[in-house]
Amino acid sequence: MLLRLQEFWQRITDGFALQDLWAQFRADARSGYQFYYREIDHRPLEKESGWKRFWRIVRDLFWAMMMKLSPGRRVLLLMALVLLLIPPIRIVTNDAVFETGPASFWGAVLLLAILALELSDRVTMKRDLEIAREIQSWLMPSKAPAVPGVDIAFATRPANTVAGDYYDAFFRPNGRLLVVVADVAGKSVPAALLTATLQASVRTLAALDSTLPELVAQVNRYACEQSLQGRRFTTAFLAELETGTGALTYVNAGHNWPVLRHASGAIERLESGGLPLGINLPLPYKSGTATLATGDLLLIFTDGLVEAEDAEENEYGEERMLQLLQSPPADASGTVKRVLASVDAFVGLTRQHDDITCLALRMT
């Protein structure tokens, strides 16, 4: 019997210790509260204080959760709550005493029925999202191209099942290696759909005979057509590398400044470019240049890395990342793994709130 209980507990907890389960619950509760809290109109709360403010928040949170359900399930939930509050009824007559059973039992049954329906919807949606994730993984490179004298590695972690980050590395017809890291505003399915169109446009336009600024301008033109009047903009970093000489030409379209760590230990930030893609159609983009020598490391990342938060909502920040790059591993893969491990150690069990993508390029 004890062995069965242990197996049952192991299956339920997936081997997590109680303190880890509690930390995970706290992280989920905080994330759920923040999700519903955004639905609240905060203007009336400014006039309230004490218990009035507390009960107004409780009421608004209740309605925020209620309105996420379908009308039929709202009725079931109300019925369940009413049944949970009804005490047993005792009826005394001249001949007998009648006592109804606890109505809370049927309230619990209704709550379980609502839970089963919501889980069914979630499983169906998750299956569809898993298919979308597979399709997205086909669009992104699964491994870095083999480039003599250049070591490349990348990794991505979506905040949800599908991501709004895009990364790529391939050769253009002019013989230069094109490296791309982009971040579409938003998360999940809407951002993933725009990521797919961005990937297709970059791949198609990169096959044409054009300079890097011209390529970025063409991608920006396409992004403006799909950006819903600038609401779905994209930050991006695109760079062309002459693998023989180490000459790098790049355009930073509103993206986090990549870090170029020279073998000497000097740090250079690549910031030349312009606004994010999809905001201003006629905007020209300026290109920057750099030279990569043997032992130099280029790290490109999305804002989800440096803006990762721990349980106290402290950001990971660039300082921690730059400290890691003072003595990076000898290969690009080791650099990516070390950076992501550092982020994991910092955030702990806190739920990831944004997509994280990291690409490292090292001259060997």
Going along the chain from its start, the domains and CATH numbers come out as 16-132 (no CATH), 142-363 (3.60.40.10)
CB of 106 within 8 A of CB of 83?
yes
Whole-number percent of the chain with pLDDT over 70: 93
d(CA 238, CA 121): 40
End-to-end CA, the chain: 60
User: Is residue 256 packed enough to be buried (19+ CB in 10 Å), middle (13-18) or exposed (0-12)?
Assistant: buried
3-class SS of residue 133: helix
Q: In this predicted structure, what is the pLDDT of residue 144?
A: 86
Mean pLDDT of 288-304: 94
Sequence-ordered list of residues with C-beta below 8 angstroms from that of 57, at least 6 positions apart, any chain? 40, 45
Q: In this predicted structure, which of 122-136, 174-188, 229-243, 323-337 has the lowest mean pLDDT?
A: 122-136
The mean pLDDT value of the chain amounts to 85
Sequence-ordered list of residues with C-beta below 8 angstroms from that of 307, at least 6 positions apart, any chain? 315, 316, 354
pLDDT tens digit string along 192-224? 778 888 888 999 999 998 999 999 999 998 888
